[in-house]
């Protein structure tokens, strides 16, 4: 059954968390970074906040994690468990696994492996990473597939399910993304992001991705008054329903992003986006 989820990137949550940006130190033993605003929500309270909204499945962006000290990761894991909220995926948005530069690619593979280890410490069900912003070419698709094969095996050995997404340049074209996954010869999870597929080829892209999707990142298009493009939302969600999608639908927000943020509070947006899914999936959706 499809079910509703949130991301720490969902509407207003990055602001509430203090617009944080933290990255791994070179030795992988700590993180460095800062809060760009004053937090009003501690990350340790994020699971309970999601549960209060009736959400029991979330994604967590790596840049939102202010510490990877074992004691902190244990405390964060306990917060998810006590709130009865599944940490579905850790989202790794950095790295250039698909780079033609072997040194850059190797460094990114090592970075991703470290985040896989951290995902396991947090008790995350899965981890999502992407090849990056290099242009996909036959030779880089092949080398990236080999890297994805090794990363898949490492993830599984750590007890974490690996996935990728139509995010950033390398994975923008659905055919390139799927070709790379097929060459990896591994059963990867796939996040179909409605927002990242925007543009004239949006539906063509989603037609290729949705049948293999294990999760959806739900974005809606809005007009200049802030009203949802209902037909576009219906089209995307119907495509997912008709392909038998039964994973989490992460309620992200709308595009243009700033306008959507300016016209909704968090709870209002969650109810609105959840309602869009409920209207299409009906009893096949756990809101």
- For the stretch 32-79, pLDDT in tens is 999 999 999 999 999 999 999 999 999 999 999 999 999 999 999 999
DSSP 57: E
Query: Distance between CA 3 and CA 59 in Å, rounded?
Result: 13
Query: Distance between CA 241 and CA 16 in Å, rounded?
Result: 32
Note the residue count of the chain.
Answer: 287
Tokens representing residue 83 in the block: 């709130």
Percent of the chain with pLDDT over 90: 99
Query: Distance between CA 75 and CA 70 in Å, rounded?
Result: 9
What was the pLDDT predicted at 187? 98
Largest Cα span, the chain: 50
Q: CA triplet 245, 251, 257: central angle to 5 degrees?
A: 130
Q: Are 130 and 91 in contact (CB under 8 A)?
A: no
Residue 195 has pLDDT above 90, yes or no: yes
Q: How confident is the model at residue 123 (pLDDT cuts 50, 70, 90)?
A: very high
pLDDT digits (tens, 9 = 90+) for 247-270: 999 999 999 999 999 999 999 999
Percent of the chain with pLDDT over 70: 100
Query: Distance between CA 250 and CA 272 in Å, rounded?
Result: 13
What was the pLDDT predicted at 198? 85
State the average pLDDT over residues 117-141: 98
SS3 216: strand
State the average pLDDT over residues 90-100: 98
CB-side neighbour CA atoms (13 Å) of 163: 27
State the average pLDDT over residues 163-167: 98
């Amino acid at each position: 059954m499809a079910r509703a989820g949130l991301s720490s990137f969902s509407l207003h949550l990055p602001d509430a968390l203090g617009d944080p940006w933290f990255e791994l130190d070179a030795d992988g033993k700590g993180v460095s970074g800062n809060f760009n605003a004053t937090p009003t929500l501690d990350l340790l309270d994020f699971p309970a906040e999601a549960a209060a909204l009736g959400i029991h499945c979330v994604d967590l962006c790596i840049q939102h994690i202010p510490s990877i000290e074992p004691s902190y990761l244990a405390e964060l894991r306990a917060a998810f468990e006590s709130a009865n909220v599944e940490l579905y995926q850790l989202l790794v948005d950095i790295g250039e696994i698909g780079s033609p530069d072997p040194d850059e690619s190797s460094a990114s593979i090592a970075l991703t492996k470290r985040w896989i280890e951290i995902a396991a410490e947090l008790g995350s069900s899965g981890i999502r990473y992407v090849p990056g912003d290099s242009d996909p070419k036959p030779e880089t698709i092949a080398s990236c597939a080999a890297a994805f094969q090794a990363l898949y095996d490492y993830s599984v050995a750590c007890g974490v399910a690996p996935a990728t997404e139509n995010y950033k340049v390398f994975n923008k074209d659905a055919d390139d993304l799927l070709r790379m996954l097929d060459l990896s010869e591994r059963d990867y999870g796939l996040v179909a992001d409605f927002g990242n597929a925007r543009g004239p080829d949006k539906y063509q892209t989603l037609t290729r991705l949705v049948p293999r999707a294990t999760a959806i990142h739900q974005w809606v298009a809005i007009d200049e008054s802030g009203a949802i493009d209902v037909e576009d939302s219906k089209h995307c969600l119907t495509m997912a329903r008709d392909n038998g999608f039964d994973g989490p639908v992460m309620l992200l927000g709308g595009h243009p992003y700033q306008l959507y943020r300016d016209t909704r509070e968090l709870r209002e947006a969650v109810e609105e986006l959840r309602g869009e899914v409920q209207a299409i999936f009906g009893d096949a959706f756990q809101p």
